[in-house]
Amino acid sequence: MRFPFLLLLCLSQHVFAAEWSTRALTEVGIFPHFRAPADVVARDEASLSAEVSARIVDMPVRTGEMVKRGAVLVRLDDAGYRIDVARAQAQLKLVDNRIRLAESQFAQSRALAAKGFISDDGLRIRETELAVLRSEADAARATLDAARLGLARTVIRAPYDGVLRTRLANVGDLAAPGTALVVFASAAEAEVRARVPQQQIDDLKAAAMWRLKAGDTSYRLQLRRISPLLDRAGQARDVIFAAEDDLPPGLAGELQWQSKTLHLPPAYLQQVDGALGVFVEREGKAAFLPVPGAQVGRAAAVGLAPETRVIDQGRFALGLNKGAP
Cite the DSSP H helix spans in the chain: 2-18, 25-28, 79-114, 120-152, 201-206, 315-323
Are 90 and 110 found together in one domain? yes
Report if residue 3 sits inside a domain: no
Regarding whether 297 and 247 lie in a shared domain, the answer is: no
In a domain, 8, yes or no: no
Q: Which of 235, 258, 281 is the last residue of a domain?
A: 258
The answer to whether residue 196 is domain-embedded is yes
Tell me what pLDDT residue 82 has: 96
Q: How many domains does the chain have?
A: 4
Distances (CA, A) of 83 to 59, 155, 159: 23, 16, 27
| Domain-located, residue 66 | yes
Distance CA 262, CA 264 (A): 7
**Domain-terminating residue out of 230, 258, 286:** 258
Are 98 and 194 contained in the same domain? no
- Same domain for 65 and 164: yes
pLDDT (tens digit per residue) in 12-53: 344 344 588 888 888 888 888 889 999 999 888 899 999 999
The Cβ of residue 77 has, within 10 Å, a number of other Cβ atoms equal to 17
Q: Are the beta carbons of 29 and 311 closer than 8 angstroms?
A: no
pTM for this entry? 0.62
- Are residues 270 and 242 located together in one domain of the fold? no
Residues 6+ apart with CB under 8 A from 290: 275, 276, 277
User: How many C-beta atoms surround the C-beta of residue 156 within 10 A?
Assistant: 21
Question: Starting from the edge strand earliest in sequence, which strands make up the sheet with 180-186, in order?
Answer: 45-49, 180-186, 162-167, 66-67
DSSP 3-state of 280: strand
In a domain, 286, yes or no: yes
Please give the residue range of the domain that contains residue 225: 33-44+188-258
Q: 124-172, pLDDT tens digit by residue?
A: 888 888 899 999 999 999 999 999 999 999 999 999 999 999 999 999 9
Residue stretches of the chain with pLDDT short of 70: 1-18, 319-325
Cβ contacts of 170 within 8 Å, gap of 6 or more = 56, 59
Is residue 5 in some structural domain? no
Q: What angle do CA 199, 205, 209 make, to 5 degrees?
A: 120
